[in-house]
Amino acid sequence: MTTVRREAFGLMPPEEGGGEVEKFVLQSDSVRVEILSFGCIITTLETKDRDGQFADVVLGFDTLEGYTRKHPFFGAVVGRVANRIAHGRFSLDGKEYQLFINNGPNSLHGGAKGFDKVLWSPQVLPNGVRFFRLSPDGEEGYPGDLKVWVTYTLSGGELAINYQAQTSKTTPISLTNHAYFNLKGQGSRDVYDHEISIEADYYLPVDDTKIPTGEVAAVQGTGFDLRQPVELGKHLHKFHLDGFDHNFCLHQDQDRRFVARVFHPPSGRTMEVHTTQPGIQFYTGNNLDGSLKGKGGATYPKHSALCLETQNWPDAVNKPHFPNVLLHPGEEYNHTTWLVFNTA
């Protein structure tokens, strides 16, 4: 049985148009998750260890103010296009589009005011909550009126996130949730003792601005081979890696499939990722620097969390040999990711 509760979380600043932000609490016997109508943000995700003790395993803030200020997309839905678009530029039907540049020379996670920084309209469901918004034609430089629905449902230890969209003009779209996980509990110093595996034979090498070079490289014999579980700290050390911020190429298949697993041996907590998406961005919180005050006064230093963002491949709009990222009028964008929490 899942219970759903809604409560007030805060008011948007007047300069942001005001408006009430609500929090939705979904609870099963093994998972408790809190989600905001602002940015569809997962603020809390509590799950049991092998002794039945709950801990909050996602990074975030105690108050709305934390989320309305600049932060690294903690728990948010990002779009229209997750990840990076080279130089914030692309061409469609002979027309050039220029997006806001907010990550070195590139556009990241939707631009200056992406889906993570706006209020969504909520609808309570028996076992979850659905959020809706209309992204108007030209918002952040993207073409077309885009209707977007993001639905969170909780069933036992499984949190499903479904993304649907329809457009009035051809537009690139790639939606994901940017939760930062630490299965020991948020506020823990690092994720070096986490074991990770990703079901991918290929990954995308990137240039020094994190844009894929266009090569689809085999993981075999490299530090990117995560097909068997590795202990993260030892693995980074062994391959002299500063961390991961790379897309792993998943089997191209519209059906649900298992793509990644994180295991924290000391607590027994596990998280499996299943998805219909063609890629997963594995990010180890390389840019966290301890400067943000998080929940309960916690600080979040480098490598204190990891992200597994299911999405299309970065810069796909400029790389014809990458999976199709364009949504046309009359079509529906429909992808789901399932996070399954358990103990081992």
Q: Looking at the annotation, which residues are catalytic? A: 178, 309
Does residue 93 have a known ligand-binding role?
no
**What is the rounded CA–CA span in Å between residue 299 and residue 186?**
9
180 marked among binding-site residues:
yes
- 178 annotated as a binding-site residue: yes
- CA-to-CA distance for 292 and 303, rounded, in angstroms? 14
Sheet holding 202-203: strands in order across?
217-218, 202-203, 245-249, 279-283, 307-311
CA–CA separation, 79 and 89 (whole Å)? 15
Is position 179 annotated in a ligand binding site? yes
Helices (H), the chain: 64-68, 232-238
Residue 245 in marked binding region: yes
Residue 84 known to bind ligand: yes
Residue 208, burial from CB neighbour count under 10 angstroms (0-12, 13-18, 19+) = exposed
Residue 238, CA distances (Å) to 78, 205, 229, 232, 242 in order: 33, 19, 14, 10, 11
Binding site: residue ranges? 83-84, 178-180, 245
Known binding residues for beta-D-galactose: 83-84, 178-180, 245
